[in-house]
Amino acid sequence: MLARAFRDNPLNVAVIGDSPARRLRCNRAGVAALLDSTRRHGLLLFAEAETKLLGALAAVPPSANPLPPPAPAVQFRTLLSQGFRVASRWGAIARRLQVLHPQRPHWYVASLGVEPAAQGRGLGAALLTRLLERADREGFPTYLETDRIRNVGFYEARGFRVEEQIALLGVPVWRMWRASN
């Protein structure tokens, strides 16, 4: 589901290329790696309807920033599935974002995605609200990056503000911060 949700994001197109099938395959490997690390060190929230997974949020708590890498076997499978060029480009992006990552303790939204056919129904907002309520209870701010301009307004409506706009591989990426309430 997350692989489909991010298949057509601008950064995915820039890193992986024009083939939707290839982006989906590479995304599946990347999502598996993210979920492996998040399952062990972070927080996973899900939105389901009639036993079908429709949305997911992967978050990193203040105590786990940066998220430790996935298990070696998962890293190897990711490299084989994505290929060296794609994996190395994602690695370069991750290193650049890590340098820019805020240093003070915060919750980090590593990924928030909704099944494309289910977008616009409030599932992503409900998942994000669950995380923000927890961050507020704990007294921590929340941070994220997005490469979709339409997401900027979505996040601003939930209290985030743009800290900085950068370009990665020529793609605009907005770094966003939300103070705890």
Residue, of 70 and 129, whose pLDDT is higher: 129
Q: What is the mean pLDDT of residues 5-34?
A: 96
pLDDT of residue 69: 87
Q: What pLDDT is recorded for position 65?
A: 84
What confidence category does residue 13 fall into, taking pLDDT thresholds of 50, 70 and 90?
very high
Is the pLDDT confidence value at 24 over 90?
yes
What pLDDT does residue 50 have? 87
Q: Is 51 left (phi over 0), alpha (psi -120 to 50) or beta?
A: left
Say if residues 13 and 148 touch (Cβ distance below 8 Å): no
Which domains, ranges and CATH numbers included, belong to the chain?
Answer: 2-178 (3.40.630.30)
Chain segment 51-91, per-residue pLDDT in tens: 899 999 999 999 888 888 898 999 999 999 999 999 999 99
Question: Rounded to an integer, what distance in angstroms lies between the CA atom of residue 10 and that of residue 170?
Answer: 10
| Residues 6 or more apart in contact with residue 156 via CB below 8 angstroms | 162, 176
Average pLDDT, the chain: 96
Tokens (6 digits) for 20: 């939707």
Q: Beta strand 52-60 with 171-178: parallel, antiparallel or unpaired?
A: unpaired
Q: What is the pTM of this model?
A: 0.95
Give exposure, 24-51, as e/b (b: 16+ Cβ within 10 Å). Answer: bbbbbbbbbbbbbbbeeebbebebeeee
Here the tokens at position 125 are: 């907002």
Tokens of 86: 């794609």
The pLDDT of 157-181, averaged and rounded, is 97
How far, in Å, CA of 181 to CA of 177, rounded?
13
For 88-120, how does the pLDDT look when each residue is reduced to its tens digit (9 = 90+)? 999 999 999 999 999 999 999 999 999 999 999
Residue 167 confidence (pLDDT) = 98
